[in-house]
Chain A
């Protein structure tokens, strides 16, 4: 197997006396979708917040593209190519798709906004994901459906030259058809060569789109499974703690 895009070794994080991450190993590969599953309180969000630089880890080693890095703030993580799509999506409803995709990173021409270039790049980024659900990139986000908003948020990560895209519950609030669209989009991100990490409670989604499944249980990584070689029941057993420590943390 190739070098992982991102590798966490024995990362730890505590909040006061509570050890949320107790020495977690985790890796994700370029071109692959890795699921991060676990029950509430298992430490998924804390793991992701460390990766995005929002809440740096207390200890452990993080390697990105083979080099050791210290993720200390979101801007730095973003400049490395790590982008997170949060559940609440972080889109401004009063702005249109292009304006949202370039939010905080507007392109300028002679000091003024270069709308034509931004629109061009936005369309190109959406086309690279074969997005067909969005009619006009000048629609206001307030007029978009949940699936379309998710599409815009994912498209924004492409625009920012992300190498690793982390999706927090990308299908949580979506209907059946929209979930399908977003999962296709996720698959295409990986097919385009990006590393993708998905946090999800929905095992149907996970089995449909992910290559690997990593299971967190009370701050420990209890399993790292290849989707094709495991079953739903096995994953559930790891999530609920009825089956522990097999082939990881060896």
Chain B
């Protein structure tokens, strides 16, 4: 028994860097809505004709919306997804929003090897990923959760190191920090709620295939 054909497909999009890229991709895949900008005051933007609703949310909340089924699908960085620990289906690597998660320390205070940092303080926006990483190396650390400007940690003496995402490395350089370990690569992902994936399978599946095709064409165009 499915009545999903008449239902809305709800899409959660994160504010910030990924937003315009995500909107572009959806537009190319034939889905859009009037007034879809992340400066919009409206938090839910609906396209009645296409039976689509966009939810614009804080980056870290996208996995939550999707896991709880408040959104059927969403676009989110792999880093945020792993940190959230939310149980969602990961359908597609969108390739954009590429960055990597790493550990960095002040250049002048670099130690010989990773384990020399055991029991030191690490400032990060990603305490779960960091803890998992250090645990795998048998290291206990003191985690200091910050919400932005992580690089400040070592400068003001709040921590000995940082675990953060890096795109180009400019910020690190400007703050005299040096990457010492690569932790994981990240990029934007298309995610889906486990129930929506089944109840709205046809729509989600064809959208995924369309996006896959667009991404392949883009990749070929760049060659």
Q: Do A and B bind each other?
A: no
